[in-house]
Structure 1
Amino acid sequence: MTSKHLYVFLLVLVGLSATAQDIFVSKITITGNTKTKEHVIRREILIQEDSTYTSTRLKDLIAQSENRVLNLNLFNTVNITRDTISDRDFVTLEIAVVEKWYIWPIPFVEFSDRNFNVWGGLDFDPARTNYGLYVFNYNLFGRNHTLKTKMKTGYHTKLGVEYRIPFLSSKTQWGLNTLIEYAAQNEVWYQTRNDSLQFFTNGKNNLIKTLKSKVEFSKRINPFSRIYIGASYENGQLDTSVPTSDYFSNSTGYQNTFGISLGQAYDTRDNIFYPIAGKFLSLRATAEGWKNIDWTPNLEISTKIQYFKKLRPKISTALAVFGTLKSNPTPPYSRRQVLGYNQIVRGFEYYVIDGTWGYTGNAAIRYQLVHKPKLKINLVPFENYKVLPLNIYAEAYVDVGQAGYKTNDPSNQLNGEFLYAGGLGLNVLLYNDRLLRLEYSLNSLQEGGFFVHFKKAI
């Protein structure tokens, strides 16, 4: 080897060594958390003090840690900055957060139907609205506990209390979620015909009454995985004037439902409210028993898989699959809801498909039109909300789905049919967790329409 070749080799070796040079994180400090306990934030940080990382790895972990702290939904902004100490290989990290308000007494008026467009199809009937008060207490004791109280009347009556504890203490990985809720309606969705819900009302109050309770324990296995185990109870009472024979099991007007569930979730999404990158996988099995004059068992298994990838600085893709299966071939009507309720195929918002099995698939490509992570709103008098993170995305999407039930009413033509639709949308994301979706869809029935939604599709 000539001296010239040796010189070039040494230059390359030195360059590679510098590129791979380790950085020692000596200290992590947190500022801005006037109420939130430090351990709540530190639990989400993927970087450890007195630890060494490559420059590239440290950059990735900082970005992931910022997203994880934001996903707590306790802060409007989260910024992690590096400060070099004398030597470029030694750094400290500062985590600066801006806390949200944690007590929200919210008077509200809302539509009761499954989505905004269904309510519009009923002429925006004001009689089909609810009004009342939600009181949300977030971050109780500075430990990210949540207490939700619901007091609602109007088309529906609902009184409920929910308490969530992500971690029972600073040293344990176990959490707890409890719920108790009473609901009553003066109108009943009592059957499905022509792939649409049929309503019954006769002027009487409380045609159906429901009492629900739930206790669920969870355990974080690692920073991205949790397991869940829970028990639930539900009591339903149907007025004798409602003309249905299979709303509850055994053709009765009441039903007690007991359930035990086991689930696991894996989540690396950058923003749980509107993901751009990451994965989400969940699997849940629920063993139920429907009890009135007899005992009827059922096992339901459901799964959801989502994949998000950033292709370019402004271009990303989203893919999702959902599936559910019930073991009981003839569940009562109240337990047959599959598509058109919590799960939809876009373009079929006006329809419902009941069944013992069903699935959906979604694919979308998104282009970021606006990215203003620190938009200043000086007119806002509250310091915590003067900075508005604003993102707007254009989206093209395709949805598919199918659901079925073997003793289907002949008027329901979509039972067992393969459904598909495509469309274009505009998604507006405010404060990282408030979403408005404006979409135009064309479905496989050659029906087109404009739709409005307030939660993410994928």
Structure 2
Amino acid sequence: MMLLLALFHSFWLSLFGSSDTTQHVLVRQVTFTGNFRTREHIIRREMDVRAGDVITVQKLDSLLEYDRRKILNTNLFITVELKKKRLDNDTTALSFYTADGKLIAPPQTIDVEVVLKEQWYLLAFPVFELADRNFNEWWYERGRDLSRTIYGTYILHQNLTGNNDRLRLRAEFGFIPRLDLYYSRPYLGKKQKLGMTVGMIRLTNRTLPYRTRADKLIFFPSDSRMRERLNPYVTFTYRPRFYGFHSITAQYSHTTLSDTVARLNPNYFLEGRRQQRYFQLSYSHFFDRRDRVQYPLRGFYYGIVFSRLGLFSSDDVQQWEATANYGQYFSLGKKLFFSYSFKAKTSSPFLQPFLQTRGLGYGTDLVRGYELYVIDGQHFALAKTNLRYQLLNRTFNLSKFIKMRQFNTFPLAIYPNIYADFGYTRNQYSSLNNSTLANRPLMGVGIGLDVVTWYNFVGRLNYSVNHLGEARPYFSIGREF
């Protein structure tokens, strides 16, 4: 009888494949602790590992690490830990054949526990900040004028109903009055692939940059209203899996200008207009596999954006824009990390309103060492490189001093670094701005110190040298998402 069974088993394996000695584990269940507000389905949405999965031992750890990073990148938690618990007495796992005909021995059974520490989701604090593009422009170019400040209130709830939805209200006064109202729900429906954002921004400028000269912003001081802008918008997002995002944004822009500014710069809206109205439609795709979006050390990302300004013949702007970017981060070993990124923009037609002609110098589209300049143009290319050393990366437990769980974990990381950036802006009408930096290569090199801490706050102190021979320190601080 045993001989017949052995012959049958050999015949079965000859038809369907041989046995596999690779060790497997069966995930019996996945549990969550510490998510007092966040709903479980929001966390499960980020996980590859599910209850009932049979996974090789070699693959399990890497999958759990990727899941940990994805959960952390929701910006809902301070810390995320995935623990494995081995169940020695489990007898429910049976041997079976895989799709390719391999016989799997009864796998080891485990439970996975996701241990979370939630952030403090409601942020409400007074606003007091500078109205200039960055601290360095205010310090070096605006004479440290304290009248160029903005004050008001900022209220943000990052997890309003436990579904990773955000509600933001920003009411500001002073140099640039502003009202910003925004609500975002990233996942709608049972499949959790579609999301929606609605918002509205209203800005009033009394003093504003009405043109550039020699690649620096020229302001017109005034106590009366120079510009008013209203911008309602709606965005629909589609996230089929984990790392790729698609979005479509429809918005309306209505901006009015004072007679004085229209006279000083007839190209502000072109042809001396005092009003600009248009509809805009944008599509973007972003793929992000960085380990930590706020301050990545490993992984890569890429993205593209296509925008059409002016959907109807009656719109005051008729313009196309396209941008593409790519970045990669990797470890060199011994706490050394290297990164590089590229970004390029093109737009049409060549003759554009001053308000829409944006090259390098705005936001993060910056060659370090040129913080005091804006290089307007229809096209630009930007390359950044950075070599970091991890001097410190620790998480301090402050529970003896601070009882609130959202604040008694204090992460602190310090990264000395060196960098080199390169850029180029193409401007078909550079003479309108008396530009000396457009249509020529730019290069900035330097050394820096980055400090990463609580709630994604990153402070940067850089000392940069540009191709003009200008060398000085630059400082920035902010919360990065």
Fold match (TM-score > 0.5): yes
Cα deviation, residue 283, structure 1: 0.5
Aligned twin of 2:386: 364
Q: CA RMSD in A?
A: 2.1
Matches within 5 A, 1:214-229: 214-229=233-248
Residues 99-125 of structure 1: CA distance to partner in whole angstroms, max 9, x if unpaired?
Answer: 111111111210111111111112321
Are residue 444 (structure 1) and residue 463 (structure 2) matched? Answer: no
Distance in 1 separating the partners of 2:192 and 2:394? 38
Matches within 5 A, 1:13-412: 20-86=22-88, 89-121=108-140, 122-204=142-224, 206-242=225-261, 243-289=264-310, 295-312=316-333, 314-342=335-363, 343-376=365-398, 378-409=400-431, 411-412=434-435
**Counterpart contact for 2:458–2:480, Cα < 8 Å:** no
**Counterpart contact for 1:390–1:432, Cα < 8 Å:** no
Distance in 2 separating the partners of 1:246 and 1:209? 17
Alpha carbons of structure 1 residues 230 and 54: separation in structure 2 relative to 1, 3 Å: same
Cα deviation, residue 230, structure 1: 1.6
- Give, as a single letter, the amino acid of the residue that structure 2 aligns with 1:428: V
Residues 202-223 of structure 1: CA distance to partner in whole angstroms, max 9, x if unpaired?
Answer: 332x211100111110101221
**Counterpart contact for 1:39–1:170, Cα < 8 Å:** no
What secondary structure does 1:56 align onto? helix
Alpha carbons of structure 1 residues 178 and 431: separation in structure 2 relative to 1, 3 Å: same
Cα deviation, residue 319, structure 1: 0.9
- Give, as a single letter, the amino acid of the residue that structure 1 aligns with 2:136: N
Distance in 2 separating the partners of 1:432 and 1:270? 16
**Counterpart contact for 1:256–1:292, Cα < 8 Å:** no
**Counterpart contact for 1:256–1:291, Cα < 8 Å:** no
| Bigger mean CA deviation after superposition, 91-100 or 45-54 | 45-54
What secondary structure does 2:351 align onto? coil
Distance in 2 separating the partners of 1:294 and 1:355? 22
Residues 289-329 of structure 1: CA distance to partner in whole angstroms, max 9, x if unpaired?
Answer: 18898754211001111111122251111110011110111
- Give, as a single letter, the amino acid of the residue that structure 1 aligns with 2:180: G
Aligned length: 441
- Give, as a single letter, the amino acid of the residue that structure 1 aligns with 2:348: S
Alpha carbons of structure 1 residues 73 and 296: separation in structure 2 relative to 1, 3 Å: closer
1:420 to 436, 439, 443: 443
- Give, as a single letter, the amino acid of the residue that structure 1 aligns with 2:394: K
- Give, as a single letter, the amino acid of the residue that structure 1 aligns with 2:36: T
Residues 217-255 of structure 1: CA distance to partner in whole angstroms, max 9, x if unpaired?
Answer: 010122111111121111110111222101113320110
**Counterpart contact for 1:255–1:290, Cα < 8 Å:** no
What secondary structure does 1:69 align onto? helix
Aligned residues: percent identity? Answer: 28
Cα deviation, residue 402, structure 1: 0.9
Residues 68-98 of structure 1: CA distance to partner in whole angstroms, max 9, x if unpaired?
Answer: 1111111111111111111682211100111
TM-score, structure 1 normalization: 0.92
Cα deviation, residue 142, structure 1: 0.6
Distance in 2 separating the partners of 1:292 and 1:417? 36
Aligned twin of 2:16: none
Distance in 1 separating the partners of 2:219 and 2:313? 24
Alpha carbons of structure 1 residues 374 and 28: separation in structure 2 relative to 1, 3 Å: farther
**Counterpart contact for 1:324–1:359, Cα < 8 Å:** yes
Distance in 2 separating the partners of 1:383 and 1:263? 37
**Counterpart contact for 1:145–1:164, Cα < 8 Å:** yes
- Give, as a single letter, the amino acid of the residue that structure 2 aligns with 1:423: G
Alpha carbons of structure 1 residues 370 and 432: separation in structure 2 relative to 1, 3 Å: farther
| Structure 2 portions without partners, runs of 5+ | 1-18, 90-106
**Counterpart contact for 2:239–2:246, Cα < 8 Å:** yes
Residues 127-178 of structure 1: CA distance to partner in whole angstroms, max 9, x if unpaired?
Answer: 0010000010111111110000010011100011011111113433001111
Point out the structure with the larger strand share: 1
- Give, as a single letter, the amino acid of the residue that structure 2 aligns with 1:415: A
What secondary structure does 1:61 align onto? helix
What secondary structure does 1:339 align onto? coil
**Counterpart contact for 1:237–1:255, Cα < 8 Å:** yes
Alpha carbons of structure 1 residues 265 and 59: separation in structure 2 relative to 1, 3 Å: same
**Counterpart contact for 1:321–1:359, Cα < 8 Å:** yes
**Counterpart contact for 2:278–2:317, Cα < 8 Å:** no
- Give, as a single letter, the amino acid of the residue that structure 2 aligns with 1:85: L
| Bigger mean CA deviation after superposition, 136-145 or 81-90 | 81-90
Alpha carbons of structure 1 residues 19 and 324: separation in structure 2 relative to 1, 3 Å: farther
What secondary structure does 1:126 align onto? coil
**Counterpart contact for 1:273–1:432, Cα < 8 Å:** no
Distance in 2 separating the partners of 1:401 and 1:375? 43
User: Which has the larger Rg?
Assistant: 2
**Counterpart contact for 2:456–2:480, Cα < 8 Å:** no
Distance in 1 separating the partners of 2:49 and 2:408? 30
Distance in 2 separating the partners of 1:201 and 1:293? 33
| Bigger mean CA deviation after superposition, 432-441 or 185-194 | 432-441
**Counterpart contact for 1:250–1:293, Cα < 8 Å:** no
| Bigger mean CA deviation after superposition, 193-202 or 284-293 | 284-293
TM-score, structure 2 normalization: 0.88
- Give, as a single letter, the amino acid of the residue that structure 1 aligns with 2:369: G
Alpha carbons of structure 1 residues 246 and 178: separation in structure 2 relative to 1, 3 Å: same
- Give, as a single letter, the amino acid of the residue that structure 2 aligns with 1:212: N
Cα deviation, residue 456, structure 1: 8.9
Cα deviation, residue 126, structure 1: 0.9
What secondary structure does 2:61 align onto? helix
Cα deviation, residue 381, structure 1: 4.0
Distance in 1 separating the partners of 2:290 and 2:251? 29
| Bigger mean CA deviation after superposition, 424-433 or 189-198 | 424-433
What secondary structure does 1:59 align onto? helix
**Counterpart contact for 1:214–1:232, Cα < 8 Å:** yes
Aligned twin of 1:5: none
- Give, as a single letter, the amino acid of the residue that structure 2 aligns with 1:32: G
Distance in 2 separating the partners of 1:65 and 1:105? 31
